[in-house]
């Protein structure tokens, strides 16, 4: 059938959408049929394309081919698209659901967007307004597109619904504000824009896989930063007038005292994401010159159930760790700076040991990951429930495994060591730079060398390095001398492997996506025990561990570089020689 000009073919009796006019022009749909479908769509309060494909007047496949030919746009089979590799946060989920569109990629200042209806000018204008970017259409089949939109936006929608539906677990009656402050608080915490802003920040942080949110007031501005893959990024700069109301709102749902603004406070809250997943948030406030800085740490309990393979241990490191925690008694220590993943490592070990026949108790400040089957205690120094007091109580309750959040003082260390010497497996953390210095740190705390040698069976030092994005990493041209200076041996720099560098794409953050652990797993051998008993230095212990095949943190990181997991500059930035 000869092509008809779409404008000339436009019915006068009824204004039809552009999609209908294009189908009439292409001879795929009659005038009367188009009008009938349009009326039904209006009656049923659905879109024309939804009524069209639902009625069977035109199949989704036929519609896609027709639109591709009519508008000169490429046709794409969405079955060939990996949903997990699509770019995130470029377009609001509500817009995607409303107009049934999916962002496929970004090129310069234009978005490549999949649609079944390229004639929808309203969708194009809404996308341009929301993103301040142009739109290039790619045609896709409507049924496949609808399914992909639902899959791509379900988790975020459920999360938003759960937040708005008051799925935070808090109790305002626990606040200790005075009567005068309660009247002010009522107006502050229920301020709708503040509530919506906080909801959006929490949801964005979760979807962007952030580990922390920082709300920071200054004299003339207010900023919100997320820590993503270990790197702080500025996300928003709301009006400075929001700072007090936002602080009050966060304090309410974290069960803090909203009338107290002069001293730091700690709290926590929960967020349901879907029917069976709960995300915990740990909240900390700190009075600064221009208001309270608030840091919210996201604690995902599922991270402790990923399994030891997901943490980045090499096979020999994994075997040493599993052999140690499988022993009936002794002490295993995990060391590293704040934010290096010590808690996740400890809970991964606890998850392995968590069986019906094992009695496990933990003392933490505070408990970060809730795990069924484990007796978890939050220490409270003000009430007298210190680490030492909790440990003493544990030993009266027939434990098999004890986890101490941190060994901070001699009393706690002394009780933990005695527990390890009397038939209990003890897991704990210390803040030291590497495994050998942990032993000298314990010596400096006042612990006798023979107690250290007879109780500690393994020490793991760790760091978190950003993982290279597999979609865009590229070979790096690194000079031979630079590799040698970094710590590689002449034998290792033989050209049999290729280092990679970050590039950056829509799938990652500046060339990195996620993080991987770098570990120094040091068992306490008989020879290392002799060095400890002889009051040897950390250098003596490190030399002996090296002779026994224990990689240092730098060597472990360089091994990840050889495997193409991370970049050389990332390893150099988080380890010492």
* pLDDT at position 276: 62
Q: Is 529 exposed, middle or buried (0-12, 13-18, 19+ CB in 10 A)?
A: middle
- Rounded Cα gap, residues 428 and 434, in angstroms: 15
Structural contact between residues 165 and 196, judged by C-beta atoms closer than 8 angstroms: no
DSSP code per residue over 461-488: EEEEEEEEPTTT-EE----HHHHHHHT-
CA 249 vs CA 268, 348, 555: distances in Å: 13, 34, 47
How many residues are given for the chain? 577
- Rounded Cα gap, residues 359 and 222, in angstroms: 48
* pLDDT at position 153: 59
Pairing of strands 222-228, 210-217: antiparallel
Dihedral sign from CA coordinates of 337, 341, 344, 348: negative
Strands (E), 366-424: 375-378, 401-404
* pLDDT at position 427: 94
- Full-prediction pTM beyond 0.75? no
* pLDDT at position 299: 78
Strands (E), 166-217: 210-217
Place of tokens 């207010």: 222
* pLDDT at position 305: 60
* pLDDT at position 163: 39
β-strand partners of 270: 280
Structural contact between residues 331 and 453, judged by C-beta atoms closer than 8 angstroms: no
* pLDDT at position 275: 60
DSSP code per residue over 20-63: HHHHHHTTSS-HHHHHHHHHHHHHHT--HHHHHHHHTSS-HHHH
Q: Other CB atoms closer than 10 Å to residue 153's CB: what's the count?
A: 18
- Rounded Cα gap, residues 247 and 188, in angstroms: 9
β-strand partners of 223: 216
Chain-centre distance of CA 496, in angstroms? 34
Q: What are phi and psi of 333, to 5 degrees?
A: -115, 140
DSSP code per residue over 431-460: --SSHHHHHHHHHHTT--HHHHHHHEEEEE
Domains of the chain: residue spans and CATH: 18-159 (3.30.300.160), 192-299 (3.30.450.90), 303-464+516-551 (3.40.50.300)
Per-run averaged pLDDT (10 residues), the chain, 577 residues: 44 70 86 86 81 82 87 85 77 82 85 89 85 88 84 51 40 40 46 79 83 93 90 87 90 89 88 68 93 89 66 89 92 89 87 91 83 88 86 90 89 90 92 90 91 94 90 89 90 87 81 89 95 92 94 93 92 84
Reported as type and span, the H/E element at residue 250 is: helix 243-253
β-strand partners of 465: 516
């Amino acid at each position: 059938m000869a092509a008809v000009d779409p404008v000339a073919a436009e019915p006068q009796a009824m204004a039809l959408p552009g999609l209908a006019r294009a189908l009439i022009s292409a001879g795929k749909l009659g005038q009367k049929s188009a009008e009938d479908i349009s009326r039904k769509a209006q009656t049923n309060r659905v879109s024309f394309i939804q009524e069209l494909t639902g009625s069977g007047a035109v199949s989704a496949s036929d519609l896609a081919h027709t639109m591709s030919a009519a508008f000169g746009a490429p046709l794409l089979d969405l079955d060939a698209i990996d949903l997990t590799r699509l770019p995130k946060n470029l377009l609001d989920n509500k817009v995607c659901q409303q107009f049934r569109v999916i962002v496929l990629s970004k090129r310069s200042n234009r978005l490549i967007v999949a649609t079944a209806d390229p004639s929808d000018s309203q969708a194009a204008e809404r996308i341009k307004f929301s993103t301040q970017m142009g739109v290039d259409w790619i045609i896709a089949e409507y049924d496949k597109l609808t399914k992909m939109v639902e899959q791509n936006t379900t988790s975020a929608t459920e999360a938003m619904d759960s937040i708005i539906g008051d799925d935070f677990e808090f109790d305002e009656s626990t606040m200790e504000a005075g009567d005068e402050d309660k009247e002010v608080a009522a107006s502050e915490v229920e301020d709708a824009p503040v509530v919506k802003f906080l909801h959006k920040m929490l949801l964005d942080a979760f979807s962007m896989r952030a580990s922390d949110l920082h709300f920071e007031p200054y004299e003339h501005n207010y900023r919100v930063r997320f820590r993503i893959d270990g790197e702080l990024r500025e996300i928003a700069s709301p009006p400075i007038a929001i700072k007090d109301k936002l602080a009050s709102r966060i304090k309410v749902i974290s069960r803090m005292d909203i009338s107290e603004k002069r001293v730091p406070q700690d709290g926590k809250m929960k967020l349901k994401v879907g029917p069976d997943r709960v995300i915990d948030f740990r909240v900390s406030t700190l009075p600064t010159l221009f208001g309270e800085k608030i840091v919210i740490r996201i604690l995902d309990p599922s991270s402790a159930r990923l399994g030891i393979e997901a943490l980045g241990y090499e096979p020999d490191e994994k075997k040493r760790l599993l052999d140690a925690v499988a022993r009936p008694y002794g002490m295993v220590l995990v060391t590293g700076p704040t934010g290096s993943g010590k808690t996740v490592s400890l809970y991964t070990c606890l998850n392995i040991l968590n069986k019906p026949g094992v009695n496990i108790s933990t003392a933490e400040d505070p408990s970060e990951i809730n795990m069924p089957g484990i007796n978890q205690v939050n220490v409270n120094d003000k009430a007298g429930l210190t680490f030492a007091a909790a440990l003493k109580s544990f030993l009266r309750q027939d434990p098999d495994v004890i986890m101490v959040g941190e060994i901070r003082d001699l009393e706690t260390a002394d009780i933990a060591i005695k527990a390890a010497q009397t038939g209990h497996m003890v897991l704990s953390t210390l803040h030291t730079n590497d495994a050998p210095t942990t032993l000298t740190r314990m010596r400096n705390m006042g612990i006798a060398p023979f107690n250290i040698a007879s109780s500690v069976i393994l020490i793991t030092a760790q760091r978190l390095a950003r993982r290279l994005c597999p979609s865009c990493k590229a070979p790096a041209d690194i000079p031979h001398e630079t590799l040698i200076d970094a710590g590689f041996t002449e034998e290792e720099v033989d050209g049999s492997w290729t280092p990679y560098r970050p590039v950056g794409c829509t799938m990652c953050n500046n060339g990195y996506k996620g993080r991987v652990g770098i570990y120094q797993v040091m068992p306490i051998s008989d020879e290392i025990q002799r060095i400890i008993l002889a009051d040897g230095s950390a250098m003596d212990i490190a030399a002996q561990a090296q002779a026994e095949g224990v990689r240092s943190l730098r060597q472990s990181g360089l091994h990840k570089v050889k495997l193409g997991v991370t970049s050389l500059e990332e390893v150099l930035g988080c380890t010492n020689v």
